[in-house]
Amino acid sequence: MPKLTPRRLIVCADDYALSPGVSLGIRQLAAARRLSATSVMTCMPHWPAEAEALQPLADQIAIGLHFTLTDQTPLGPMPHLAGKGRLPGVARVIGLCLGNRLPTDEIRQELDRQWACFIRYFGRPPDFLDGHQHVHLLPGIDKLVLQAMADRPNPAPCWLRDCVDPWLWRRPEAPKAGLISLLGLRFAQGLRRQGLPCNQGFSGFYDAKRSNLAAALPGLLRQIGDRHLLMVHPGHVDDALRAVDGLTDSRQTEWDFLMGPDFPAFLERQALVLAGREDIP
């Protein structure tokens, strides 16, 4: 059998600062060199303490902004989108996008606030930007994000998450992967038109109620190339997580697998090497 050419895999843990337990789990995985990146939620009340705890790992893994426009509390006033001080669910945001009723000025200001809050703790811009519940791909929000990157004095170091998966029909949860890929087509075209750096391929969707990451991984990483991004959601379950998010037990299951011996063994069999901060985008 011919020897496979090694490919770099970007393993990104989403939702850092969602809760102390999630954050601790992500830091443990990063310290054990099981992650390439994490995307952080600077609007969460736990962010200041969790940001300080993450700083020692800032040169080892890529740390990006997980732009948040759903379910949580914004950093500043958003009278139209979050009139009662809380952001709406993703279905409501999608409806506003499709109805062309987005409060675009509010959203751009909140993006600037979350971006500035990252810089306040790390002294540099995020390594990359993506969206909580993939809001950066939604019609109208995608243009705001791309324009915000164009307005930065030096946007090149910040790469963006491209969620288009050309092999989506061979993935677990193909319908959801297909929907996200469809939503992301215009964003991907904008990335290339503006010459903005991004990952090369994306996967991570599976039914956490019927399966787990260990079982889904062969399908998630089938037919991938160099610098493919695997989205994961590991962490430890705590009361703070239960209060703000419905995705709980599967986070601990993912953490157990990623920290255990089977994950690096799988990567080795597939000639995959974990990308480091210096390897991406």
- The 10s digit of each residue's pLDDT in 162-206 is 999 887 666 777 778 888 988 899 999 999 999 999 999 999 999
7-279 CATH, one of 3.40.50.720, 3.20.20.370, 3.40.50.620, 3.40.50.970? 3.20.20.370
- What pLDDT digit, counting tens, does each position of 87-130 carry? 999 999 999 999 999 999 999 999 999 999 999 999 999 999 99
Q: What percent of the chain has pLDDT over 70?
A: 97
Q: Show me where the domains of the chain are located.
A: 7-279
Statement: residue 138 has pLDDT above 60: yes
- Verify cis geometry, omega within 30 degrees of 0, for the bond prior to 234: no
Number of H helices, E strands in the chain: 10, 8
pTM of the model: 0.95
Determine the Cα–Cα distance for residues 91 and 80; give it in Å rounded to an integer: 16
Statement: residue 161 has pLDDT above 80: yes
Statement: residue 13 has pLDDT above 70: yes
